[in-house]
Each structure stands twice: as C-alpha cells, then as structure tokens.
Amino acid sequence: MARIFYTEKDIEDMVNQGIQSQEITSDMTLTGLAYEKARALGLRLVQEKLDELPNAPVRPYLNKIPTPRQAAAAAAPTPAAPVPPPSATPASEPSDLQARITKSVIAKMGGEVDAVLLESIVRRVLSSTGLK
C-alpha cells in the first residue's frame, strides 16, 4: 500500500473545502509544518494511536508517564533559598571596589592586560551599574 503524504498546503486545501477533521492512519505521513498548520487552522487530526504521532521518533524522555511519587515531587513547592542577614560592615567604596576588580583581573590575566584600558572598562561598568 502506498504512503500518503500531507503538507501544509494539503491542510489548507482541506480547511478551504470545509473539512473539520481528518483521520490519520498508519499509512499517512504529515510534515511538521502540516501539523502546525492544522493546529493553527483548527483542523482536528484524529489518530489511531493517540499517544504517538505517525512516523514521529519515540522520545521516552518526553513520552514517559511520571510515577505517582514523581508527580507528587514535581507538584510540591520548592523551599525558598535562605536569605543571608544584611552585613554589618559598610559597603565598599567604589574606588576600593574598582581597585579590587582591577587587581583580580590582572591576577587572572597576567601581563596580557592593558592597565589603562582595564581601568577605563572597570570605571565604565561600575558607573553603568550605579556603583560609582
């Protein structure tokens, strides 16, 4: 038996003819765009097997039905991360922060960094973030 292929154009033609649903059998293949077009135009696709698309690859990580324990764990609210208490020490001065950032970058990059350019970049970033 020959396979029947449907494209998005075929789906448009069906809808224009007034067809509201189409049975999809095992000898039919719909392109991905055909499925999208059917959904967009409201054409109902009735399939022999409701749990898998014709000729679609089996993706167990998508098709797996969760166990009751997995479903309960997914539905349980996750606890909020604890918020550390505010620090009693005053915030670093921007110039101190700039110096620490510059020192850290030089320590990581070694002598490959242009110090004047680095100072300019750090100053610009601190001012754009409102820290200076």
Task: Break the chain into its structural domains and give their ranges.
Answer: 4-57, 94-128
Residue 41's pLDDT is what? 92
**Residue 86 pLDDT:** 53
pLDDT of residue 47: 76
pLDDT score, position 12: 94
- Rounded average pLDDT per 10-residue block, the chain, 132 residues: 86 93 86 89 78 51 57 63 54 72 83 81 82 66
Per-residue pLDDT, 76:
64
- pLDDT for 60 equals 47
Question: Do residues 11 and 37 touch, judged by C-beta distance below 8 A?
Answer: yes
- How much is the CA Rg of the chain, to the nearest whole Å? 30
